[in-house]
Amino acid sequence: MKKIVAVVFSAALFLGLGSQVYASENVPQQDDLQQVLAMIDKSNQDIEEKIEKAVAKADKLQEDYLLDIQKIEEGDQVVKLQNEKEKVLADLEKAKHDEKKADELNKKLQDLDKRMNEEREKIHVKMADIQGDIEEATAQLQSPGKKDDKELNDKLNKLQNQLDKKTGKYEERTKKFTEELEKIIQDVYDETLKISNETIAKAAEKGVVAEQYWVQVEFAGKLVWIDPVRVVGP
């Protein structure tokens, strides 16, 4: 994304310089034009910097969100083991010329994989048991004379709440991520729009017509239009 934005900004400066070819009799003074071009270049650099910071912030926000979703799905213990495995893999890469150490690390990897699979199986069994109990309780309630059985209804509600709790965590965390991402996007949009509007107004004072043009920027997988500035004529 940084590379794409940089190319677009340098193109804007090129187009700005090229606009001198189409100047009319009311062309601004050369000094004024150079000042405006320098001002636009500086504004575009400021916009690019704000975009880069916002993109980095959005990427970190998404990284934290995905980690939290993984914890909800697999549990803290699995995530902890996964992080430990990544560290061992990094150590193994460094120890590829040390056969003894590499063997030790490979054994550790096997142990970690085994423990992770065991933890995942526990979670799978737990969720399957809950689902099975729900189906059993539902079947009993559908039996003659059991429709209004308070004990069975309470049991079914309790089991369903266990599943709903996990769903609720997903929804709550996703809502928080979405709101924070929207704020990052809105803030950088407002800030860059303000910069470009002020730059266009100052260019007009020097007799130079400038305009906003829009480029797409990706924030945590979401494409947004942002507005650098270019010269279009005197």
Reply yes or no on whether the pLDDT at 94 is more than 90: no
Q: Which residue has the higher pLDDT, 145 or 190?
A: 190
Find, among 178, 208, 233, the residue nearest to 31 by Cα: 208
Helix residue spans in the chain (DSSP H): 2-18, 30-74, 76-94, 99-141, 150-205
- The secondary structure element, H or E, covering residue 217 is strand 215-219
Average pLDDT over residues 34-50: 92
pTM of the model: 0.61
Average pLDDT over residues 65-89: 82
Minimum mean pLDDT range among 12-16, 85-89, 208-212: 12-16
In angstroms, what CA-CA distances link 96 with 50, 86, 154?
A: 42, 15, 58
CA 119, CA 96: separation in Å to the nearest integer?
29
Read off the pLDDT of residues 166-213 as tens digits, 9 standing for 90 and up: 778 878 888 899 999 999 999 999 999 999 999 999 998 888 888 888
Average pLDDT over residues 14-18: 36
Question: What are phi and psi for residue 224, nearest 5 degrees?
Answer: -135, 145
What 3-state class would DSSP assign to 72? helix
In this prediction, residue 233 carries a pLDDT of 53
Find, among 179, 211, 209, the residue nearest to 193 by Cα: 211
Q: What is the largest CA-CA distance in the chain?
A: 96
Q: Which residue has the higher pLDDT, 183 or 156?
A: 183
